[in-house]
Structure formats: structure tokens, C-alpha cells
Amino acid sequence: MLSMELHQLRYLLAVADNRSFTAAAELCHVSQPTLSHQIKKLEEEVGEPLLQRRKKGTYLTPLGERVYRHAQDILKNVESVQQAASAFSHSVQGLLKIGVIPTIAPYLLPGLLRLSQKRHPGINFQITEEPTEHLLASLGTGALDLAILSPPIANDHVRTQDLFEDEFLLALPKNHSLLKSRDISLRRLRELPMILMNDAHCLRGQTISFCHRSGFAPKVFIQSSQLDTVLAMVETGQGISLVPAMARKSFRHRKVVFRSLHPEKLSRKISLAWSKQVTPSRSFNAFIELCKTMDK
């Protein structure tokens, strides 16, 4: 009967992930001889080597790969048990690892964190700002507890909670001829140069999708990774863009005009996402309820 211990499994995962006994020992806060001894004991338990040392690092054996996958599941379940136990605490406290996409983070997070500090001062945060694809991957590995993003989300392993709708506004330079019109439809933008975010950002995909639904492909003139750069280019007359309404107040210094589109009103959903494997803690649930009170 096997008598492997949880710390041995953690050491195995650390070595496999870093391909180094030295790096794994540092991350696990143990000496390298201690870590190596525990890995050796684990190998003796299963009866075969789990790791192979090569010139370019340390790699899992075929058996090691199977044990690695089971070890991941075991440690995730242990963490879920620990979270479930902490949920019985009478106070809302703990660390939440939150990921947010860049086109939401600077506009929503400051107010959200201020409100959380006021209502639940026992909750501490570790914030990550990344594109949607990276946030979903981090939810899957447990590196994040929650993500704030904008659907659609192509991932069957996460749950979502819609928070609110964020309107897309047309951003124009102050002297643009379209400003003479009372109503501006999306189709009137078909021949105009557009300035969009680059491929890493869902804001770009959403804008292109809106244009396609109106029967045209946008003429993308400039691409940027920063919304401020997009609006700087609009300000100088290089093109037009569609911008989330939640960002409008942050760009008052830009000489641009924001207009709603008519008759169609374009918007994106702002949603929370988390892994279906997560067992919510009191702080987790409290933060979700707090998010529901926010709007743009």
C-alpha cells in the first residue's frame, strides 16, 4: 500500500514545472537535498523513476507524466477542501487572485477595490492584467480565482456571471464632418479609416464583429495595444474608433468627441468568470456580490 505524502507530490510538480531541482527547492522553501530525498522516496514507493535528468533540464518519465496529472488533481482537491473549511469563518477575509482584461481594469477596478475595502477590509487582492486568453488559462491552472472580462468566452470549464452592459461609443476628432449629423449609424463608418486595438484584445474582435453584422469589413488603419494611443490617433485626425463608455471619463484630456450610434446601440457585456472546480469561500462570494452592485 502506497504511503506517499502531499509535500512529495508538490515537490514533483515543482520540479516538472521548472525542469530544475534547484529552482523547485527555492520555490518550495526547502533545501535541494531535502527535495531530492523526498522525490527519491516517492519513486521508491511507485517502483520506477519519475524524473530524468538531461543536459537541458529535468523531464518526466512516461510514468512520471501519469503521476503528475494525478498529483495535480489531488492537490486541487486538497485546496478545495481547505477553501471549504475556511468558508465557515465568521469574518470575510482572505486573499483573492483577480485577473482583469486591460480594457476594463483601469476604469472599473479603482472604484471596485475602494468599495471592497470599505465593506470587506479583511479581503486582500492580487491583481493581474492580461488579455482574455491568458486569464482563462490562469483560471484553469488555479493561478487566478476570478476574472473580470467581456464575453464571448470559448471555455466550457468556467462559470460566468454577467454584471452589466457597457456601451460602445464612437470616438471622433472634434472637427469631424460626422458631428454635423444628428444620428450616426454604424454603416456610415464603412469607408472611414478605423483605429483599433491589436489582436490580443477582445475589444478589436467585438468592433470587427459589429461591422460584419452591418455588412462591411472595417478599414483598419492603425492598431495599438493601448486605448490611450488609439484616442491620441483619433485626436490627430488619423481615423475614428469605437470605445467602451466606461473609459470615457479617463480621456477627458483628449480632444475627441464621443457619440452614441443610432439607431443601433452597440454594447459589450462585463462578466465575472471562474473555474467550475473552485469551491467558493466567503470572501469569494462576498466579492461576487460586490461586483453585482457596480456599473459603468
Q: What residue ranges in 12-107 does DSSP mark as E strands?
A: 51-54, 57-60, 94-100
Q: In angstroms, rounded to a whole number, what is the distance separating the alpha carbons of residues 230 and 110?
A: 22
Is pLDDT at 184 greater than 60 in this prediction? yes
Q: How many residues does the chain have?
A: 296
The single residue listed with the C-alpha cell 495595444 is 225
The reported pLDDT for the residue numbered 153 is 85
Rounded mean pLDDT, 281-286 = 88
70-111 tens-digit pLDDT: 999 999 988 887 776 666 555 678 899 999 999 999 999 999
- The SS3 call for residue 18 is helix
10-65 tens-digit pLDDT: 999 999 999 999 999 999 999 999 999 999 999 999 999 999 988 888 999 999 99
Cβ atoms of 130 and 157 closer than 8 Å: no
- Domains (range + CATH), the chain: 6-86 (1.10.10.10), 94-164+269-292 (3.40.190.10), 167-265 (3.40.190.10)
Average pLDDT for the chain = 90
The reported pLDDT for the residue numbered 200 is 79
110-161 tens-digit pLDDT: 999 999 999 889 899 999 999 999 999 999 999 999 999 998 888 889 999 9
